[in-house]
Amino acid sequence: MSKRVVVTGIGLISPVGNDTSASWKSFCEGRSGIGTITKFDASDQDVRIAGEIKGFDPLLYMDRKEVRRNDPFVHYALGATKQALADAELSITEENQDDVGVIIGSGIGGLTACHEQFKVLFDRGPDRVSPFFITQFITDIAAGYVSMQVGARGPNFATVSACATSANAIGEAAEMIRRGDAIAMIAGGAECGITPMGVASFAVMRALSRRNDDPEHASRPFDAERDGFVIAEGAGILILEEEEYARKRGARIYAELAGYASTADAYHVTEPAPEGAGLARAMKRAMTKAEVSPEQVEYINAHGTSTVFNDRNETAAIKNIFGDHAKHLAISSTKSMIGHTLGAAGGIEAGVTVLSLLHNVLTPTINYAHPDPECDLDYVPNEAREAKVNVALSNSMGFGGHNAVIVFKRYNG
């Protein structure tokens, strides 16, 4: 019999808060974290808005030398991890360190370091490139660095599946616990892609909103006037534990991670499959593994990017799987408030989903003003809603046709 997996800690760093409590408060208030780009001079860019982290101090989590040696996406990963471990009151010791693992992904990795060091190469020559560049840039370094800092010696690797990255990380971490490869896992994702190249490359794809003069209203998932996503940065980390181990050590259990599934569209490099067929299969498989029927699901934290194709196809997928029950589901998009954190999105949204079950509050989809006939479900528009939810889904989709769905249940010991 497979082991039960529970969530005992959450760490969030987002454009609306540098820790979990601040982020959650902002989400419940429907605050926007989108603004004009300040990380670099974006005056020559077609898109000049983003969801930036504000006032984050990496020295709270690592010393000055380590800050210099690591890309900001690693700063965020370690910060969210230390928050989550403290929240879970989980100490990694000689007794358990071989059985605690780390899976932290990133969609892009060290793009800030890449930008800086290519500039050094072209301006000053190859001999001036930092000897730390490779370990700043490679995507797996967040998982590796976190394990070194906290002493976790169990399974350790990174997932990379674009915007499904950290949902895959969390799901695969849960599978490791189920099969007995670990008693606890640190899992999620981190991203810091707001650089000149990061913004320009998504902009020329016509993927980004161009509401430069109204940034707070630019991310508007499921709204008829949506015109693209808003690039953002951040980190979301969950502490997952085998239920018996968590209970034995007296941990506070937030929710059960009851099911997970991952599928491929095998259709197009950026556009979701028609009618969201791949996501639909992932939702169906995840619910089957969680042993819940579609009628038992009450809330979905949607991928909800604010792009025309994503929101339309995700809505179609939900209708396909849930049938008439789709009209009774509450659905919301965290991205309406913080933008799209790419490889960190699934981790942040999984954390928000768990907090919704814990606090009986569904966070809103803000900026919803113009109903779209093709997106006609209940998107918890503009204001948070009190609701006791027992079963919830967190949906993620990524360029390359990746889909990942996690099912959370209210924990009943």
pLDDT of 108 above 70: yes
Question: Do residues 268 and 242 both lie within one domain?
Answer: no
Question: Do residues 232 and 269 both lie within one domain?
Answer: no
Q: Using the 3D structure, point to which of 206, 222, 248 is the last residue of a domain.
A: 248
Cβ(280)–Cβ(322) below 8 Å: no
Exactly one of 163, 192, 375, 402 is catalytic; which is it? 163
Question: Do residues 398 and 280 both lie within one domain?
Answer: yes
How many domains are there within the chain? 2
Residues 6+ apart with CB under 8 A from 267: 273, 274, 277, 278, 401
Query: What does the alpha-carbon distance between residue 15 and residue 11 come to, in Å, rounded to a whole number?
Result: 14
Exactly one of 75, 114, 340, 375 is catalytic; which is it? 340
Residues 6+ apart with CB under 8 A from 411: 6, 253, 254, 255, 256
Residue 98 lies in a domain: yes
Residue 136 lies in a domain: yes
Can 217 be counted among the known catalytic residues? no
pLDDT at 413 (0 to 100): 78
pLDDT at 133 (0 to 100): 96
pLDDT of 2 above 90: no
Locus of tokens 């181990």 = 245
Which CATH number is 190's domain given? 3.40.47.10
Residues 6+ apart with CB under 8 A from 148: none
- CA atoms within 13 A of residue 164's CA, in its CB half-sphere: 27
Query: What does the alpha-carbon distance between residue 201 and residue 160 come to, in Å, rounded to a whole number?
Result: 19
Percent of the chain with pLDDT over 70: 100
pLDDT tens digits, 126-154: 999 999 999 999 999 999 999 999 999 99
Question: Do residues 149 and 237 both lie within one domain?
Answer: yes
Question: Do residues 383 and 237 both lie within one domain?
Answer: no
> How high does pLDDT run on average in the chain?
97
Residue 21 lies in a domain: yes
Residue 16: pLDDT band by 50, 70, 90 thresholds?
very high
Cβ(395)–Cβ(286) below 8 Å: no
Cβ(85)–Cβ(108) below 8 Å: no
Question: Do residues 26 and 119 both lie within one domain?
Answer: yes
pLDDT of 386 above 80: yes
Residues 6+ apart with CB under 8 A from 86: 9
Query: What does the alpha-carbon distance between residue 50 and residue 43 come to, in Å, rounded to a whole number?
Result: 13
Q: Using the 3D structure, point to which of 248, 276, 302 is the last residue of a domain.
A: 248
Kindly tell me the burial class for residue 364, based on how many C-beta atoms sit within 10 Å of its own C-beta (0-12, 13-18, 19 or more): buried
> What Å distances lie between residue 301 and 332, 341, 378, CA to CA?
5, 15, 12
Query: What does the alpha-carbon distance between residue 236 and residue 163 come to, in Å, rounded to a whole number?
Result: 13
Exactly one of 28, 192, 303, 375 is catalytic; which is it? 303
pLDDT at 1 (0 to 100): 62
Question: Do residues 298 and 387 both lie within one domain?
Answer: yes
Residue 176 lies in a domain: yes
Q: State which amino acid sits at residue 322.
A: F
Question: Do residues 229 and 348 both lie within one domain?
Answer: no
pLDDT of 52 above 80: yes
Can 375 be counted among the known catalytic residues? no
Question: Do residues 69 and 23 both lie within one domain?
Answer: yes
Q: State which amino acid sits at residue 46.
A: D
Question: Do residues 207 and 282 both lie within one domain?
Answer: no
Residue 413 lies in a domain: no
Q: Using the 3D structure, point to which of 214, 248, 282 is the last residue of a domain.
A: 248
pLDDT tens digits, 246-304: 999 999 999 999 999 999 999 999 888 999 999 999 999 999 999 999 999 999 999 99
Question: Do residues 346 and 223 both lie within one domain?
Answer: no
Query: What does the alpha-carbon distance between residue 74 and residue 255 come to, in Å, rounded to a whole number?
Result: 27
What domain range is 46 assigned to?
Answer: 5-248
Percent of the chain with pLDDT over 90: 98
Residue 19 lies in a domain: yes
Per the rule left: phi > 0, alpha: psi between -120 and 50, beta: everything else, 231 is beta
Question: Do residues 298 and 394 both lie within one domain?
Answer: yes
Task: Work out the average pLDDT over 68-84.
Answer: 98
